[in-house]
């Protein structure tokens, strides 16, 4: 069971969580979350989860791989944060976690009781909506907060009108 959300209590605000990854559709999730934040006066959290399973190497190589992955995560977060700042004037909260994406998303939601909505984007490839959407879609009945899934083909204008 999820802990009580505090976003409507004094000193708190509702946060939208968007996950940054290597998929092209994640940009649509960030755009939708940012426009919702702008429309509602909430907060934006951008999360990048580094897959810890990628570091099963010799100790020295493992450390180098981890450092490179964290540097790439920081660069990706900075890129999206810059776009959100420039376009909408929103200062997002940037978080890097290491582990399995669905586990880390759930942990962050439990830790930050202001996060009230998870925003994901579905890919349009023939393989399906994407690994993250697929993994969370199977858990939505037990997922701790509402999940919004944004179609990849929406333009910024479409997203702005929907947000």
Residue 33 · residue 147 · CB < 8 Å: no
Q: In sequence order, which residues have a C-beta less than 8 Å from that of residue 163 and are 6 or more positions away? A: 32, 35, 36, 38, 39
pLDDT at residue 12, rounded to an integer: 74
Chosen CATH of 15-158 out of 3.40.50.300, 3.40.50.150, 1.10.3720.10, 3.40.50.620: 3.40.50.620
List per-block mean pLDDT (blocks of 10 residues) for the chain, which spans 163 residues: 66 90 90 95 96 67 83 96 96 96 92 93 69 63 80 90 88
Domain residue ranges of the chain, discontinuous segments joined by + = 15-158
Task: Give strand pairing partners of 119.
Answer: 18, 148
Q: In sequence order, which residues have a C-beta less than 8 Å from that of residue 17 and are 6 or more positions away? A: 33, 45, 47, 105, 108, 109, 115, 117, 118, 119
Task: Give strand pairing partners of 95.
Answer: 47
The answer for 112, left when phi > 0, alpha when psi is -120 to 50, beta otherwise, is beta
pTM equals 0.86
Residue 97 · residue 104 · CB < 8 Å: yes
pLDDT at residue 123, rounded to an integer: 77
pLDDT at residue 109, rounded to an integer: 93
Residue 31 · residue 155 · CB < 8 Å: no
């Amino acid at each position: 069971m999820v802990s009580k959300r505090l976003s409507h209590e004094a000193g708190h605000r509702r946060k939208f969580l968007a996950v940054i990854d290597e998929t092209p559709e994640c940009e649509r999730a960030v755009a939708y979350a940012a426009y919702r934040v702008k429309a509602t006066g909430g907060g934006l959290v951008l999360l990048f989860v580094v897959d810890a399973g990628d570091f099963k190497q010799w100790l020295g190589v493992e450390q180098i791989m981890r450092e490179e992955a964290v540097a790439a995560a920081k660069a990706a977060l900075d890129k999206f944060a810059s776009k959100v700042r420039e376009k909408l004037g929103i200062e997002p909260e940037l978080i890097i976690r290491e582990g399995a994406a669905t586990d880390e998303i759930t942990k962050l939601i439990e830790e930050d009781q202001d996060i009230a909505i998870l925003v994901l984007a579905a890919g349009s490839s023939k393989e399906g909506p994407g690994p993250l959407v697929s993994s969370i879609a199977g858990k939505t009945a037990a997922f701790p907060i509402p999940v919004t899934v944004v179609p990849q083909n929406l333009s910024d204008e479409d997203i702005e009108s929907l947000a």
